Structure 1
């Protein structure tokens, strides 16, 4: 059976930050620095880092609440712009370009960021050639990840059933969103400072498998394609 036939009516959906570009570490470090400047002497990093994958506004609000601090609307907007300016310059995740080139599936990007930010990243890195107009972002749906909205929108627009979509996520919030949407999820741990801990968290969120380098992605995708196209009658026929 050819790769084209195997891949019929299946789709690969990738998160952006932490999967396509190596931005999660940059974003986290920027948020920590900005908050430490405002709240000296507080253990900001311990609160911020587990929240990465949520929108910046949620990370800031949750961190402030946990630490008993406050942030004005103006401060939150300033920090958000600073984080976005730093993250948008992040390099591609090592090996993602070659991995996507070797996966015979229709591809989409589904991000918790806004579409203009994601579009700039994909154009700058050249990754837009894999996704074309199949870009879905938080500003296109009612609820951001961990709600399933952006993944369900992607499936709907591509006319592919959610159960026939394979998702690559690096965060618990994103993995939760895709699992709730009824999709199979692979958890990427190569961009985190503690891969084993993150792998455990992602498995707890319901991912099918975790992996640490994008060179593994084509093989994992091929396994999933074969699982999706397997028929007992064909395998048992004499």
Structure 2
């Protein structure tokens, strides 16, 4: 088995506690377009996917395309909510600080847009941990659950996929990491333990478990 060299973090729900805030805004915006979904349905359908996928899936369910300015209007409302309420995921700052004293590279590979990550990582004080090492779905042909983004991140970092550990919280993200041939820790906070484990993730409930895993890898 190859030695781990790179830890790849998802952003939403792993670094920043943004998903509940963003999902509520998405739920309201879709309802205004006539697509009424419960929060559970929103999470099931969209969490971990790119906004292009959100638009495509929503259009399929509606039977028509969403307005051209849908994402722009949604972004304004979501960013406003972030500016007033966004916080880092509990314990993540300590994990990132601890990793600086360990022999691992780090980067971000997220379905979120560059503008969104620039805002959320900046607001939470986490951007400095990843300067120049933030990758997004717009840089690859296919977003999660396909492996393209994680493989791209590993290539950019000069690391073999088998030497990567991914920290994810969504089913598409875990599926993408597994498809990329990477180890994956599944941060389960929404009752998805079984789904994430079945997809191939090693479930963790607290962020400090990332450091514990790297100190004593479970193989």
Query: Which category describes the TM-score, using the shorter chain as reference length?
Result: 0.7 to 0.9
Cα distance change of structure 1 residues 170 and 74 upon mapping to structure 2, 3 Å threshold: same
Alignment of structure 1 residues 21-40 onto 2, 5 Å: 21-39=16-34
Return structure 1 stretches of 4+ with deviation > 4 angstroms: 67-70
Structure 2 regions of 5+ residues with no counterpart? Answer: none
SS state of the match for residue 136, structure 1?
Answer: strand
| Distance apart, 1:47 and its partner CA | 2.7
- Is this contact kept in 1: 2:166–2:182, CA < 8 A? yes
* Structure 1 residue 95 corresponds to structure 2 residue 91: yes
* Structure 1 residue 203 corresponds to structure 2 residue 202: no
**Separation in 2, partners of 1:24, 1:158:** 27
**Separation in 2, partners of 1:132, 1:29:** 29
- Is this contact kept in 2: 1:44–1:63, CA < 8 A? no
Alignment of structure 1 residues 104-115 onto 2, 5 Å: 104=102, 105-115=104-114
Give the alignment's Cα RMSD to 1 decimal. Answer: 2.5
SS state of the match for residue 102, structure 1?
Answer: helix
| Distance apart, 1:188 and its partner CA | 0.4
Cα distance change of structure 1 residues 48 and 170 upon mapping to structure 2, 3 Å threshold: same
**Separation in 1, partners of 2:40, 2:92:** 29
SS state of the match for residue 126, structure 1?
Answer: coil
Aligned to 2:178: 179
1:213-232: CA deviations, max 9, x gaps?
112221122222x75xxxxx
* Structure 1 residue 222 corresponds to structure 2 residue 215: yes
- Is this contact kept in 2: 1:152–1:181, CA < 8 A? yes
User: Which structure is larger by alpha-carbon Rg, 1 or 2?
Assistant: 1
Structure 1 regions of 5+ residues with no counterpart? Answer: 1-7, 228-238
Alignment of structure 1 residues 42-61 onto 2, 5 Å: 42-50=36-44, 51-61=46-56
**Separation in 1, partners of 2:124, 2:75:** 22
- Is this contact kept in 2: 1:203–1:210, CA < 8 A? yes
Aligned length: 213
